[in-house]
RNA sequence: CGGGGCGUGGCUCAGCUUGGCUAGAGCGCUGCGUUCGGGACGCAGAGGUCGGAGGUUCAAAUCCUCUCGCCCCGACCA
């Protein structure tokens, strides 16, 4: 492709609304253009990137025996009511939905479990027809509460979703394991540095679940990784060993302490400099909502620990948990927020404790009275120890659960997520088959997602410098860029044309910056911005058939035309090996 | 949904507090000339219902009301 024929427009300034590098660079380079919040046009360059990613995704799925199909974006409400997800998704505001001309409600699919389950249940009758896995690459629609970061969190985005169908839990696990390998292969081939982590399965439900995180400081997710043991998990899910509490002090009677204005552990440390943080127990109030009711839950935790709301949510099996508002706190404790404690809570409050409180004695806790705490409190003497469970948020430096090493907290971008769904959808939608024993059983499902457009964004997030993007070769819009310094110069024209023809003949996608009346400086800046990894500069030495090998990163070399072609061949081979 | 902010040529922004003359700058764009290896320079140009509607006023980008859109923080999030 010749750049002069491309309607190639770059911006010198960053768009005002770009917050992360990938967004700013893609917008500057004309790869994407915003149409509305979280909704983008993918320009020709971007579309090439997306198609390259799609092709890798396709090849790896096909290789694993998955079957590609395409499901509708528009889906009827009835289907979603069958699975029981309509109300929840509408209530969360995430669903684009509207009435058709007959007044029937439909939605734009945010995901396709309902459709695939329906499709499959009409076809599968026997265990002999399984295992089978389908996938599609489709535009998904989610009316995100807060779209941001360009393609990273859009309201319309490209996703590959796959669904496996098996006759038993064991078979489902085997399909899941196969897919784990497919995912590893895909992200490796895309040239990304990534970490697979154990994950919470969230609203979609199911048991086993793993997320694929592209390592990037700007990622929205925090992950806990242990180098020594190889453990890696989303912090929502991560577990750790924490240091035991300090030995109990001398037992003296529980008593009140005036603590004016001390609402946090930090404030309290100033008032009680000799009391270790591990002997201050905080009590945090949450409002948990269930289908039919709400519950106020108080959770105790050691002063040096934080509470993991996802673990709490899962333990309670609630639809949602959120911090209680001030009004609720006052009602539950009879005090201003900041003084909640386990003793003297209102009767309707359910008291729980994080495992970090176990063994802590002679501690400080809220007094359920404004400006007051209790000191020298002992479990089993002054109050029964509340039921405890792991509600803790792992912290950087925690010991891994097996004790082999320390956890460090890093950040990542979730580009893939795989789930063992079990029979959640097949039961709700009665997708059954007849097993070998003649009995009708629910199909065991797994589902597997890759954010295709997010993969592209995260590749830039992970690979860029001050001047622009640096694409991994397998997903670059073009593999090679020919930068011709002065289009119209006979020697340069001839050499550039020769290179262009030869590279094309070799089946390599090449872009030729043949623009006239564009200064060398501007060409170099544009080349850096769009980040095509392999570059050959045709300039002043063209008369001697000399060109420059000048990859996006790395050393520049002056070579003959043949030398440059050879160099290119080697670079492309390295990539494929 | 709660809090905050912003809508002015294609892009980034100034002007608005305190209403007043043909609404400005830089980038980009067009033409001519000079340049020509890291976003060149000169000269001459094109391009704006100041997000929209209504109102106040002799007069509105500027003040008021409504409305639409966008951004940030939070909640939320396969």
What length does chain A have?
577
Work out the average pLDDT over A259-288: 89
Read off the pLDDT of residues A366-415 as tens digits, 9 standing for 90 and up: 999 999 999 999 999 999 999 999 999 999 999 999 899 999 999 999 99
- Angstrom distance, A379 CA to B22 C1': 83
What's the pLDDT score for residue A204?
Answer: 59
Determine if strand B comes within 7 Å of the CB of A486.
yes
- Angstrom distance, A309 CA to B53 C1': 46
> Chain-centre distance of CA A482, in angstroms?
36
- Angstrom distance, A36 CA to B55 C1': 31
What's the pLDDT score for residue A76?
Answer: 95
What's the pLDDT score for residue A206?
Answer: 61
pLDDT > 90: what percent of chain A? 77
What's the pLDDT score for residue A105?
Answer: 92
What's the pLDDT score for residue A207?
Answer: 67
Read off the pLDDT of residues A282-294 as tens digits, 9 standing for 90 and up: 999 998 888 778 8
What does DSSP say about strands A440-442 and A468-469: parallel, antiparallel, or unpaired?
Answer: unpaired
Pick from A90, A80, A160: nearest CA to A117: A80
**Among A174-183, A399-408, A503-512, A560-569, the least confident range:** A399-408
**Higher per-residue confidence, A330 vs A162:** A162
What's the pLDDT score for residue A338?
Answer: 87
Torsion of CA A44, A45, A50, A55, to 10 degrees: 90
Read off the pLDDT of residues A107-118 as tens digits, 9 standing for 90 and up: 999 999 999 999
What's the pLDDT score for residue A577?
Answer: 66
What's the pLDDT score for residue A19?
Answer: 86
| Pair of tokens at residue A574 | 């390295």
| Pair of tokens at residue A200 | 């919470």
Work out the average pLDDT over A448-463: 96
pLDDT classification of A321: cutoffs 50, 70, 90:
confident
Pick from A345, A289, A283: nearest CA to A317: A289
| Pair of tokens at residue A257 | 């302490």
pLDDT exceeds 90 at position A456: yes
Q: What is the dihedral sign for C-alpha A237, A241, A243, A247?
A: positive
Of all nucleotides, the one whose C1′ comes closest to residue A38's CA is: B70
Pick from A400, A534, A532: nearest CA to A6: A532
Inter-CA distances, A285 with A75, A281, A312, A330, A340, Å? 40, 13, 12, 10, 8
pLDDT classification of A202: cutoffs 50, 70, 90:
low
Q: Name residue, tokens 């997708």.
A: A431
The complex's ipTM?
0.92
Consecutive H or E run containing A61: helix A44-63
Pick from A190, A203, A195: nearest CA to A454: A190
Determine if strand B comes within 7 Å of the CB of A398.
no
pLDDT exceeds 90 at position A138: yes
Which structural domains are found in chain A, ordered by start?
16-190+420-460 (3.30.930.10), 255-392 (3.90.960.10), 478-576 (3.40.50.800)
- Angstrom distance, A147 CA to B14 C1': 30
pLDDT classification of A279: cutoffs 50, 70, 90:
very high
From residues 43-82 of A, list those within 7 angstroms of strand B by Cβ: none
pLDDT exceeds 80 at position A301: yes
Question: CA A348, CA A181: separation in Å to the nearest integer?
Answer: 49
End-to-end CA distance of chain A: 26
Q: In what order do the strands lie in the sheet with A480-484?
A: A510-513, A480-484, A534-538, A546-549, A557-560
Of all nucleotides, the one whose C1′ comes closest to residue A483's CA is: B37
DSSP A510-573: EEEE--TT--HHHHHHHHHHHT-SEEEEE-GGGGGTEEEE--SSS--EEEEHHHHHHHHHHHHH
Q: Mention every residue, 6+ apart, whose C-beta is less than 8 A from residue A522.
A: none
Provide the positions of strand B that have an atom within 7 A of a protein CB.
1, 10-13, 26-28, 35-40, 69-78
**Higher per-residue confidence, A261 vs A299:** A299
pLDDT exceeds 60 at position A205: no
Work out the average pLDDT over A499-524: 97
Looking at residue A308, the DSSP 8-state letter turns out to be -
Determine if strand B comes within 7 Å of the CB of A30.
no
């Amino acid at each position: 492709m010749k750049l002069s024929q491309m309607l190639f427009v770059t911006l010198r300034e960053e768009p005002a609304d770009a917050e992360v590098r990938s967004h700013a660079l893609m917008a500057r380079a004309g790869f994407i253009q915003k149409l509305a919040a979280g909704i983008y046009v993918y320009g020709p360059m971007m579309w090439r990137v997306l198609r390259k990613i799609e092709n890798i995704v396709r090849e790896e799925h096909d290789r694993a025996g998955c079957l590609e199909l395409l499901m509708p974006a528009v889906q009827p409400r009835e289907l979603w009511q069958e699975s029981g997800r309509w109300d929840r998704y509408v209530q969360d505001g995430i669903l684009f939905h509207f009435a058709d001309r007959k007044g029937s409600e439909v939605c734009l699919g945010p995901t396709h479990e309902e459709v695939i389950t329906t499709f499959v249940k009409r076809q599968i009758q026997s265990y002999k027809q399984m295992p089978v896995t389908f996938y599609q690459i489709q535009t998904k629609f989610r009316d995100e509460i807060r779209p941001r970061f360009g393609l990273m969190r859009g309201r319309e985005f490209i996703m590959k979703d796959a669904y496996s169908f098996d006759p038993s839990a064991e078979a489902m696990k085997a399909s899941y394991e196969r897919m784990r390998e497919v995912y590893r292969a895909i992200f490796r081939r895309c040239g990304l540095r990534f970490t697979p982590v154990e994950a919470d399965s969230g609203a979609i439900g199911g048991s086993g679940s793993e997320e694929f995180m592209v390592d990037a400081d700007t990622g929205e997710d925090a992950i806990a990784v242990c180098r020594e043991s190889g453990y890696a998990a989303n912090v929502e899910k991560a577990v750790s060993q924490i240091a035991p509490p300090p030995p109990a002090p001398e037992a003296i009677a529980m008593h009140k302490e005036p603590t004016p204005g001390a609402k946090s552990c930090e404030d309290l440390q100033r008032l009680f400099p000799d009391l270790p943080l591990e002997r201050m127990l905080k009590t945090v109030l949450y409002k948990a909502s269930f289908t039919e009711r709400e519950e106020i839950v108080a959770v105790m935790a050691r002063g040096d620990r934080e509470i993991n709301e996802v673990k709490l949510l899962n333990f309670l099996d609630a639809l949602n948990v959120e911090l209680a508002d001030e009004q609720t706190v006052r009602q539950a404790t009879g005090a201003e927020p900041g003084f909640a404690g386990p003793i003297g809570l209102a009767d309707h409050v359910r008291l729980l404790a994080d495992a970090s409180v176990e063994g802590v004695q002679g501690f400080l806790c809220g007094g359920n009275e404004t400006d007051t705490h209790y000191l020298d409190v002992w479990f089993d003497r002054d109050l029964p120890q509340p039921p405890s469970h792991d509600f803790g948020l792992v912290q950087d430096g925690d010991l891994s659960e097996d004790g082999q090493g320390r956890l460090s907290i890093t950040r990542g971008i979730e580009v893939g997520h795989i789930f063992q769904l079990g029979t959640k959808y097949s039961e709700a939608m009665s997708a059954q088959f007849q097993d070998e024993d003649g009995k009708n059983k629910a199909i065991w499902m797994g589902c597997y997602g890759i954010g295709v457009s997010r993969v592209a964004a995260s590749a830039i997030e992970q690979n860029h410098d001050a001047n622009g993007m640096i694409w991994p070769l397998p997903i670059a819009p073009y593999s090679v860029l020919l930068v011709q310094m002065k289009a119209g110069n006979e020697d340069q024209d001839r050499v550039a044309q020769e290179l262009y023809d030869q590279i094309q003949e070799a089946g390599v996608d090449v872009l030729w910056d043949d623009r006239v009346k564009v200064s060398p400086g501007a060409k170099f800046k544009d080349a850096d911005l769009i980040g095509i990894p392999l570059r050959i500069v045709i300039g002043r030495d063209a008369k001697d058939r000399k060109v420059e090998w000048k990859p996006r990163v790395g050393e520049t070399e002056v070579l003959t035309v043949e030398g440059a072609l050879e160099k290119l061949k080697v670079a492309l081979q390295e990539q494929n090996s």
